[in-house]
Amino acid sequence: MAKVFTITEGLENMGAIKTGGQGSVYKGRRFGEIITAIKILPTPISSESEEDKNYTAFQNEVQKLKKVNEDANPNVVKILNSGITDSGNFPFIEMEYIEGPDLEELLQPPHPRLFTLKEILKVADQLSCALAHCHKVGVRHGDIKSNNVKFNTKTGNYVLLDFGLAMMSDEQRRTSLRHAGAIEFMAPEQNEGAMLFQTDVYSFGVILFELLAGSVPFPLNNKSETARNAVMIAHQEAPPPDALNLRRQSLPHNWNDEKKEQEMNVPDWLITMIYKCLEKKPENRFTNGMELHEYAWQNHVRTANSNQLTHERIAFLENENNRLRKEREHLQQQLLKFQHRETSRNSNSSVTKGLTGNTEVTRNKIANSPVNSSSAYTKYGLLFLIFLLVGTAIIYFLSTGKKDQPDTNARVNSPLASPTTEPPGIRGQLQNAKQFLTEGKMAEAFIIYGTLSRQQVPEAMYFYGKLALQNKNANLGCAEAFELLKKASDKGYAPAKRTLGFLYSFADDKEILSQGNYFERCTFRKDVAKGSTLLMEATLQGDTTASRLLNMLTASR
């Protein structure tokens, strides 16, 4: 290909931009100052006639590609022209030249090795929009990878480039893929030369995984045939790794703790979307770009709306909190005045008693007075306690609402807190994990629980930690597992409170701990006061097992 210098009349070759198994891309100049990009395909055409099957296939694909530009799309490169080179008779397509770096370049130093959540969501929206636009007119790209998606510095959009593979015949494609350099982005079915709409969906998932985790699911360690075969087999058989764990390990050191925490608050729907795209079987993925974009767009909008609602909720709670604070202060003043008045009245009654000696008259007088001291004190005290609890709850929600990304699993840390409803995606994953446990598929369950634990989902943290304490989950140490239970308890999850209460209360009773399979691996510190409090809180939330444990604890003391 290096010997091909003349493209065609009026189109000047200004040098190669990149080369690969699917052909080479050159920078071109048309009519003086118009800069374009030319994709030259590797299979020559012997004659421009219907007798040449390569030429016929090329013309058929050109007609499909023309449909891509019938309606302009800011996320798809414009295809300007096509033809046969004057030198070498190679087919080419001419596209607009996009000024700016591609995703591969944006993941290299001095840039961080991963994207911020804000930018990942932008890529997800715009790249899925590009796929939807192409698939709608029947065009499958077939070569989606990091260096085929560019950031247009003029418009601020991400643009899908290089439709060269889409213009090849099936036989050409099979031959080309054997020498492809980007095997890390290839769907399992591409090894057989197949190119489906779901093939593009899979490669989209690899790109999003790379932006999120700082690495593709199955990296190519070197260019040897052995390494390529290993990646190929991994795409076909191995489950993709934990993207959130890889992201945590890849967070830049120069980000402060607050930014790191924000950047780990990955929306559940985004994780679900990526892993659905990476399903081994095409039928288990999104059907095409339209379905994928609909999912990404709806969830992106829902996330944005949730953030807006959070700001409105914060403003409302701030006003409500100020109002309650003033009422509480007023109530405190009234209570102090009342106590002072009662103290004075009791003092006067004692003097009267001393002077008259008529204690019965004094008792009757106080009992029949307009305000009974005991009932009034109780009344004001209960009102004060109610306002105090409500104010505390609002302050709690106010503090959680100020996070950049709302925690859909947050609960009030109160004995009366009730469980909140998990988002649909999380509920489904939790149900799958329980089913895996029932079937004895512990590894599959731990993948789900581990992923959701990092998203601070209470039920996942509870089971992931509890199973470790019971010597069934070797992924966690005892201290780390116990800490997960405490976090789930702090979020108001009653089973976590019950289990913690049990462990604190019976930490030195080997027989009781053995009944719960807690004695084999870990040791626990006894704290009956803390244990009984947690059991009481779980009981108030309706946990009958906690109630029985509390009774057992009371009977043993």
- Exposed/middle/buried for residue 303 (C-beta within 10 Å: 0-12, 13-18, 19+): middle
Return the minimum-mean-pLDDT range out of 59-68, 203-212, 320-329, 368-377.
368-377
pLDDT at 447: 85
pLDDT at 193: 78
Over residues 51-86, the pLDDT tens digits come to 777 787 778 777 777 788 888 889 998 888 888 887
In terms of Cα–Cα distance, which of 245, 177, 175 is closest to 187? 177
Amino acid at 521: R
Highest mean pLDDT: which range of 181-195, 263-277, 539-553: 263-277
Tokens of 476: 């966690």
On the question of pLDDT at 2 being above 50, the answer is no
Which residue matches tokens 């997800």? 124
Q: What CA–CA distances, in Å, run from 199 to 122, 288, 500?
A: 21, 9, 48
Contact 465, 488 (CB under 8 A): yes
Q: DSSP readout, 458-487?
A: HHHHHHHHHHHHTT--TTS-HHHHHHHHHH
Cα 117 to Cα 459: distance, rounded to the nearest angstrom: 25
pLDDT at 113: 94
Q: What CA–CA distances, in Å, run from 402 to 39, 312, 315, 423?
A: 50, 11, 10, 20
On the question of pLDDT at 22 being above 60, the answer is no
On the question of pLDDT at 210 being above 60, the answer is yes
Residues 383-386: contacts with CB within 8 Å, 24+ apart?
383/331, 384/328, 384/331, 384/332, 384/335
pLDDT at 347: 60
Model confidence at 419, pLDDT cuts 50, 70, 90, reads very low
On the question of pLDDT at 281 being above 70, the answer is yes
- Exposed/middle/buried for residue 199 (C-beta within 10 Å: 0-12, 13-18, 19+): buried
Q: What CA–CA distances, in Å, run from 428 to 153, 262, 308, 435, 448?
A: 40, 25, 26, 11, 11
Model confidence at 362, pLDDT cuts 50, 70, 90, reads very low
Mean pLDDT of 163-176: 54
Contact 538, 546 (CB under 8 A): yes
Number of residues assigned to the chain: 557
Report the topology of domain 11-287. Answer: Transferase(Phosphotransferase); domain 1 (1.10.510)
pLDDT at 343: 64
On the question of pLDDT at 360 being above 70, the answer is no
Share of the chain above pLDDT 70, in %: 68
Contact 47, 201 (CB under 8 A): no
Looking at per-residue confidence, does 427 or 180 come out higher?
Answer: 427
pLDDT at 324: 61
Whether the bond between 44 and the residue before it is cis, its omega within 30 degrees of 0, is no
At the top level of CATH, the class of 424-556 is mainly alpha
Mean pLDDT of the chain: 77
On the question of pLDDT at 396 being above 60, the answer is no
Backbone angles phi, psi at 42, to 5 degrees: -80, -15
Quick check: helix, strand or coil at residue 95?
A: strand
Cα 497 to Cα 319: distance, rounded to the nearest angstrom: 33
According to DSSP, residue 423 is labeled P
pLDDT at 337: 67
Contact 251, 260 (CB under 8 A): yes
Backbone angles phi, psi at 273, to 5 degrees: -60, -45
Cα 402 to Cα 424: distance, rounded to the nearest angstrom: 23
On the question of pLDDT at 321 being above 70, the answer is no
pLDDT at 90: 85
Looking at per-residue confidence, does 411 or 490 come out higher?
Answer: 490
According to DSSP, residue 226 is labeled H
Tokens of 439: 């079937």
Model confidence at 400, pLDDT cuts 50, 70, 90, reads very low
Model confidence at 213, pLDDT cuts 50, 70, 90, reads very high
pLDDT at 273: 95
Sorted by where each begins, the domain ranges of the chain are: 11-287, 325-401, 424-556
pLDDT at 24: 62
Return the minimum-mean-pLDDT range out of 95-99, 120-124, 166-170, 364-368.
364-368
Helix runs in 402-543, H state only: 424-438, 442-454, 458-469, 478-490, 494-505, 510-515, 528-540
Amino acid at 531: G
Highest mean pLDDT: which range of 27-36, 121-130, 157-166, 470-479: 121-130
Contact 123, 79 (CB under 8 A): no
Quick check: helix, strand or coil at residue 353?
A: helix
Can you say whether the dihedral through the CA atoms of 350, 352, 355, 359 is positive or negative?
negative
Which residue matches tokens 């104010």? 391
Residue 170: CB atoms within 10 A of its CB come to 12
Return the minimum-mean-pLDDT range out of 228-242, 348-362, 400-414, 500-514.
400-414
Amino acid at 275: Y
In terms of Cα–Cα distance, which of 288, 296, 295, 294 is closest to 134? 288
- Tell me the pTM: 0.53
Cα 472 to Cα 463: distance, rounded to the nearest angstrom: 11
Looking at per-residue confidence, does 166 or 346 come out higher?
Answer: 346
Over residues 123-153, the pLDDT tens digits come to 999 999 999 999 998 888 888 999 999 999 9
